[in-house]
Amino acid sequence: MMKHAVLINNSYVENLSVRYLSAYLKHKGFRISIIHYEGRKDDVFNLLPEESLKLLSEYCHDCDLVGISLLTTHQLKRSIQINNYLKGKIKAKIIWGGVPVICDPHFYLQYADYICVGEGETVMADFLSGKEPADIKGLGYKSKDGKFIINSIPNFLDLNKIPIPFLDMENGFILRGRKMIPLKNELAPSLSSYSIFSVRGCPYSCSYCLNSKLKRVFSNKGSFIRLIEISRVIKELEWAKENFVNLKQVIFDDDDFFIRPENELENLLNAYTERIDLPVYYIQTNIRHITDSKVRLITESGIELKWLKIGLQSASERINKDVFNRNFDKNIFFNGLKMLASRGVRVMLDVISDNPYETFSDKYESLLFYHGLIKEIRNSSTRDIPIKIYDHKLMFYPGANLYAKAEKDGVIGNDYVSHILSKRNTLRKQKEDIDNDAFIVALFNKAIRKGRIPLIAYGLLKILRVKLIFSLMIRLNIWKNYSAFSKTRTVERFLKSIRV
């Protein structure tokens, strides 16, 4: 009888991890079902209702293996809930996997009996084939006496020799309350944006990111940067166009799209325009990989690129070097962004704020960078919004280098995961996030545009360049306490006008 594994996906429906697992395991002859329990608008920090847990246990009752996929530590609380509920209701073993689990296996073995400490495809295939835990490479587990056992990790798979990770529409379901809705009924008519990877792996080792740990875990296991063959990328996107009738755009979620050699990049763009020809919402890259010739390939390809996404993270040289482990050169950013603006390419800049390691000098350096960037860009761009900053709260993730540093420095306590990571994400949209950092970002996002209000915002940035005034704003934490005076109509109208 065909062995049956149920994969529980807690992230967005196109989650790459469960797609690769499903495609690989089906190719090996196993029956695979995927239950997407978050959906696109669900709050992952809330626990599942009893009716959903009961339906899950009923569906998994006779299966042979259950896999719980974690994309981020934010999903820990809900994963624990599902794990513990199913353990009391079904006979199948439950295994956890995902980047956070790989990066901190001992932490997750507190909650799970079995975990993937390498890529999960071969681990789950070996499990379903009946191998003993001690013989499964890439498996972590608890021994009978409660000890944590971490087996050796196998080499990377060749991504160009395993099945293309098409989204499984026939065996996928969305769990919603007491209903298990077939993915083909829910997603096929509604999905308008499709995410894809053409490159697997990140070339950088930023301290706040788990990639720095992944590189150590998988050292000598194969190339950490794996390029997906162009024919496979196009074949997957052709499948997406055929199956999602309302598909409007594509997202290339590679950590650095421009890491491909220039001739391969040109071939990919030509194939895309010829056979896919959908707008691209964004591609991501590093400012150091932006060259005039690569940008020309994009602009002359005919692709409608809405945004080019670049990580700034901080405009402080000290924070980048000593805290984030990033190379930062103000002039490289200015020259690159100015060139992009002159070619009409709109840029998303990711920044990380609410950083306890920042000093007044770091914040002031960032302010001067933003002001100087506006001077460089605003008049050279033909776009109404040439640059938009996306502001993220600095958070510390178990396994990342910065997490260990923050623990050692006393910046975070032992309860950080349960009190912070299990309750909020990096998006700065909560009341507590209205502070001086958020105000400066909002001023930049308004001042970079054209018009009367942007000129006022730019004027405020110029005033804040006076060190004494900026110092007073920081010391008094004015915008953290702005609610005391923001109820006047004039101030309220202005605050609303600069929000983007």
- With beta carbons less than 8 A apart as the criterion, state whether 154 and 218 touch: no
Please give the structure tokens belonging to residue 207. 């301290």
pLDDT band at 38 (very low <50, low <70, confident <90, very high): low
- Provide the CA 31 distance to its chain's centre, in angstroms: 29
- Burial of 75 from C-beta contacts in 10 A (0-12 / 13-18 / 19+): buried
3-state helix, strand, coil in the chain (%, to 5): 45, 15, 40
- pLDDT, tens only, 99-146: 999 999 999 999 999 999 999 999 999 999 999 999 999 999 998 888
Residue 483: the pLDDT is 45
- With beta carbons less than 8 A apart as the criterion, state whether 99 and 214 touch: yes
pLDDT band at 485 (very low <50, low <70, confident <90, very high): very low
- pLDDT, tens only, 134-177: 999 999 999 888 899 999 999 999 999 999 999 999 999 999 88
- The domains located in the chain, with CATH, are 4-173 (3.40.50.280), 183-498 (3.80.30.20)
> CA angle, corner 412, sides to 411 and 414, nearest 5?
145
Rounded Cα gap, residues 16 and 236, in angstroms? 12
Rounded Cα gap, residues 172 and 170, in angstroms? 6
- pLDDT, tens only, 244-270: 989 999 999 999 999 999 999 999 999
Rounded Cα gap, residues 205 and 322, in angstroms? 13
pTM assigned to the model = 0.90
Rounded Cα gap, residues 352 and 200, in angstroms? 24
